[in-house]
């Protein structure tokens, strides 16, 4: 009695496409290897040419001039002292106007706009004129200024109305002092 067994299922239908795919993949690897080898040879040639060019440029270029000698220490200290004196004389208490404008932009309501700004940086003060079509908008702005932690005080100096295109506009002239 003869018993034949086969525990693996026949894959005769998949064999030709699988073999073709493996041959194709092998061919891709061979082409990539040849391309990389050719590229490496080209880079070596280019590297040698670049090294030769660098050597030529180094021989043509004069060496860097030695750095300028610094003045004596006593002269440096005297200059440092003069700069410190000038800085104390021109001491500015307040922030730059750009920082002040950025803060005002955050605080100013959308319905109001800034008409003028007179910034006194040395005193840490600013006089601004804001305008809106309602006094409530400017009152809210004044309250925001009073509550701002960066400001020591915000005072309403003058309130005025004027004729505008859309009706009557209200103007608040406000003096603000920055915290030291």
Name the CATH code of domain 97-178 (choices 3.40.50.300, 3.30.1360.100, 3.10.580.10, 3.40.50.720): 3.30.1360.100
Say what the pLDDT of residue 11 is.
Answer: 66
Q: What is the pTM (predicted TM-score) of this model?
A: 0.49
pLDDT per residue as tens digits for the range 26-84:
999 999 999 999 999 999 999 999 999 998 888 887 665 556 788 899 999 999 999 88
Say what the pLDDT of residue 68 is.
Answer: 74
Residue 95: pLDDT over 90? no
**Rounded alpha-carbon distances, angstroms, from residue 137 to 109, 133, 141, 148, 162:** 7, 8, 6, 17, 16
Helix boundaries (H) for 61-160: 73-89, 97-107, 135-147
Do the beta carbons of residue 147 and residue 130 sit within 8 Å?
A: no
With pLDDT > 90 as the criterion, what percentage of the chain qualifies? 57
């Amino acid at each position: 009695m003869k018993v034949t067994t086969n525990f693996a299922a026949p894959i005769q239908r998949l064999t030709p496409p699988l073999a073709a795919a493996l041959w194709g993949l092998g061919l891709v690897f061979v082409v990539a290897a040849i391309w990389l080898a050719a590229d490496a040879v080209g880079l070596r040639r280019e590297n040698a040419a670049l090294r030769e060019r660098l050597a030529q440029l180094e021989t043509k270029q004069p060496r860097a001039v030695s750095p300028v000698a610094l003045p004596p220490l006593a002269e440096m200290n005297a200059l440092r002292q003069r700069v410190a004196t000038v800085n104390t004389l021109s001491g500015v208490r307040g922030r730059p106007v750009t920082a002040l404008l950025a803060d005002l932009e955050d605080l100013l309501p959308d319905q109001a706009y800034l008409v003028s700004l007179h910034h006194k940086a040395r005193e840490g003060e600013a006089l601004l004129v804001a305008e809106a079509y309602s006094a409530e908008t400017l009152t809210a702005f004044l309250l925001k200024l009073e509550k701002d932690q960066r400001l020591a005080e915000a005072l309403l100096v003058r309130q005025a109305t004027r004729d505008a295109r859309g009706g009557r506009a209200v103007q608040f002239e406000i003096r603000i002092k920055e915290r030291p």
